[in-house]
Amino acid sequence: MPSRTQTTPRSSHAATNNVTVPGREGMTVRRLGVALGADPSSLYRYFRGTDDLTLAIADELIGRAMRGWTATGDWRADLREVGLRIHTAYLDHPEAAVLTASRVSGRANEIASDELVLGILRATGLPDPDVVRIYQAFIDQTLAFAALDAASLALPATARAADEEVWAATYARLSPATHPHIAATALLLVARMNHSAYPTALDMLLDSAEATLRARAAGAGR
């Protein structure tokens, strides 16, 4: 069973300002126009259709994540900060995150962030095949957790609360006779499983990247 995050978005569940974004099947130009208080037809002045709008939202989330970020020169610290920024930006707008996390927009903010991440990794001296392997794992992991955690936040409050309660109400009460491993770790599960595992997973990925870097350095020194 996947974990769920209790993180409360700092912003309302919206793509921009206080607009709630419907799910992929429910978003139409008409519905969005109503939510914005605008003539739906006016949106076509800026977007070719709902898919074009979806890609624009995806790029805006990446832009918001990276706004104000500056590199420190420490590759691991920089990558960790970028990952956490992207994850947080998506969780600030959960419905938009669910709608866009799986998309590739090819737009300015997305391209700039990809260039940045690749630059951080290439500056370590790793060969490009390792750079691309780590880059893919980093980006896909970040967006996968953003989608998972945002999906939980996008649930109705009663459903989310019910999911969170399952760990204490069900798992923590299972008998050691029938479920010894769950029973042995029940208190730890209750303490952790309603929080996102993304920071832990990110650190594990960065540990692996650092190990690759050390192994390359050791091989070069022989």
Q: Are 117 and 209 in contact (CB under 8 A)?
A: no
Specify the amino acid at residue 110: E
Q: Are 167 and 195 in contact (CB under 8 A)?
A: no
Q: What is the pLDDT of residues 134-154, one digit of tens each?
A: 999 999 999 999 999 999 998
Kindly write down the DSSP assignment for every residue of 146-197, as one continuous string.
Answer: HHHHHHHHTS-HHHHHHHHHHHHHTGGG--TTT-HHHHHTHHHHHHHTTS-S
Q: Which of 112, 107, 91, 94 is closest to 51 using CA atoms?
A: 107
Which residues, other chains included, contact 21 with Cβ-Cβ below 8 Å and sequence gap of 6+? 13, 14, 15, 27, 32, 57, 93, 95, 96, 99
Q: Which of 79, 163, 167 is closest to 126 using CA atoms?
A: 79
2-31: average pLDDT:
47
Q: What is the pLDDT of residues 13-27, one digit of tens each?
A: 333 344 444 555 555
* 50: confidence class by pLDDT, cuts 50, 70, 90: confident
Q: Which of 29, 18, 35 is closest to 51 using CA atoms?
A: 29
* pLDDT number for residue 49: 76
Query: pTM to 2 decimals?
Result: 0.81
Q: What is the pLDDT of residues 78-113, one digit of tens each?
A: 999 999 999 999 999 888 888 899 999 999 999 999
